[in-house]
């Protein structure tokens, strides 16, 4: 077997591997994307490591690097994701080999620790990271909503900004562990918008997730461009700001507008410890649990997070 870095020509073979690796229970899914690397390419610093056996790619894993803070300390942290192993090659330690290889690379590039997100029902992945010394530190929730026309009220007046409001985002999130300022800028090419109430008392950012990747049921074929257009787009919501009284009318207006803009669903990633308004959970059609696991490299970090945790919408 050969362990080597990713090159652009690997993408078609990696999409074949993606097809072989469903996750999620009780409704398993895979990610459709134009190129396998598209998700990783959302990050400024990213790396993919893969394993070849007899000329066939049988395993891959990706990592990105963030320069952020944890509990007030500057920290360079790695994030590991997109771990895939061909079913025929499992139980041979390939996933562990790739994760350990990425960890070595991350340490050589100055990272002081690493973290990963795993679907709470993915016992095999949880066991993999636990056996490699990772500990569970946080619970995240992936929320799904349906577009919904307003029946009892009129849409609230909103301002739709194409440019990220850098100062506002930093003001509200800079004290959160793992916050980085490049999230919204990296999503501008994917129809990023910040929706703000006319009074400025509430805002929600969003982008077209379907331009990056889509969750596809395991028994469904890869969608064609025509099918993607017919199916509708997927808005990913993030950076909600405002109290419940101001935020819910804005949220309802976004769902109402989604109906007329051919949006088939809306999603949001949240930290379960974040004191969000109750409607954020009550309005969902589906909630999927994820676990954040960490492994420190440097003694100055104990692997834990503070009370405020930043959910990077690019990560799931």
How far apart (Å, rounded) are the C-alpha atoms in residues 123 and 24?
10
Nearest to 45 by CA among 90, 22, 77: 77
Write down the pLDDT at residue 267. 97
Q: What is the mean pLDDT of the chain?
A: 93
Examine domains 2-141+290-315 and 143-288 and report if their fold is the same. yes
Tell me, rounded to whole angstroms, the distance of Cα 76 from its chain centroid.
19
Q: Is 188 a residue whose pLDDT tops 90?
A: yes
Q: Residue 160, exposed/middle/buried by CB under 10 A (0-12, 13-18, 19+)? A: exposed
Nearest to 59 by CA among 92, 83, 85: 85
pTM as predicted: 0.93
Q: Which of the following CATH numbers is that of domain 143-288: 3.60.21, 1.10.150, 3.40.50, 3.40.630?
A: 3.40.630
Phi-psi region of 218 (alpha: psi -120 to 50; beta: other; left: phi over 0): alpha
Spans of all domains in the chain: 2-141+290-315, 143-288
**How is residue 164 written in tokens?**
């990220």
Q: What is the pLDDT of residues 221-262, one digit of tens each?
A: 888 878 877 777 899 999 999 999 999 999 999 999 999 998
Q: Cβ(61)–Cβ(103) under 8 Å?
A: no
Fold of 2-141+290-315: Aminopeptidase (3.40.630)
Q: What is the pLDDT of residues 28-76, one digit of tens each?
A: 889 899 999 999 999 999 999 999 999 999 999 999 999 999 999 999 9
- According to DSSP, residue 36 is labeled G
Q: Is 160 a residue whose pLDDT tops 90?
A: yes
Q: Cβ(277)–Cβ(248) under 8 Å?
A: yes
Q: Average pLDDT, stretch 202-217?
A: 91
Q: What is the pLDDT of residues 90-112, one digit of tens each?
A: 999 999 999 999 999 999 999 99
DSSP-based three-state secondary structure for 169: helix
Q: Residue 76, exposed/middle/buried by CB under 10 A (0-12, 13-18, 19+)? A: middle
Write down the pLDDT at residue 199. 87
C-beta atoms surrounding 105 within 10 Å: 16
């Amino acid at each position: 077997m050969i362990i080597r870095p990713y090159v652009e020509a690997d993408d078609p073979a990696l999409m074949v591997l993606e097809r072989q690796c469903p996750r999620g229970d009780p409704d398993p899914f895979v990610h459709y994307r134009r190129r396998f690397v598209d998700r990783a390419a959302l990050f400024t610093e990213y790396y993919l490591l893969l394993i070849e056996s007899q000329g066939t790619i049988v395993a891959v894993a990706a990592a990105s690097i963030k320069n952020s803070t944890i509990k007030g300390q500057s920290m360079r942290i790695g994030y590991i994701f997109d771990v895939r192993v061909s079913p025929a090659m499992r139980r041979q330690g390939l996933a562990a080999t790739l994760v350990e290889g990425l960890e070595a690379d991350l340490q050589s590039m100055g990272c002081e620790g690493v973290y990963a997100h795993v679907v709470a029902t993915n016992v095999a992945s949880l066991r993999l990271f636990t056996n490699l010394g990772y500990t569970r530190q946080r619970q995240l929730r992936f929320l799904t909503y349906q577009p919904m026309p307003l029946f009892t009220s009129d849409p609230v007046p909103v301002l739709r900004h194409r440019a990220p409001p850098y100062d506002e985002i930093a003001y509200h999130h800079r004290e959160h562990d793992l916050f980085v300022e490049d999230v919204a800028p990296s999503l501008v090419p994917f129809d990023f918008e910040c929706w703000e109430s006319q009074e400025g008392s509430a805002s929600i950012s969003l982008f077209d997730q379907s331009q990056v990747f889509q969750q596809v049921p395991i028994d469904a074929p890869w969608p064609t461009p025509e099918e993607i257009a017919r199916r509708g787009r997927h808005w990913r919501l993030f950076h909600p700001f405002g109290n419940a009284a101001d935020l819910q009318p804005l949220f309802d207006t976004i769902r109402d507008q989604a109906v007329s803009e051919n949006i088939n669903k809306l999603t949001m990633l949240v930290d379960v410890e974040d004191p969000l308004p109750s409607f954020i959970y009550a309005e969902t059609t589906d909630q999927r649990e994820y676990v954040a696991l960490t492994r420190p490299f440097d003694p100055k970090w104990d692997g834990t997070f503070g009370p405020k945790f930043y959910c990077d919408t690019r990560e799931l």
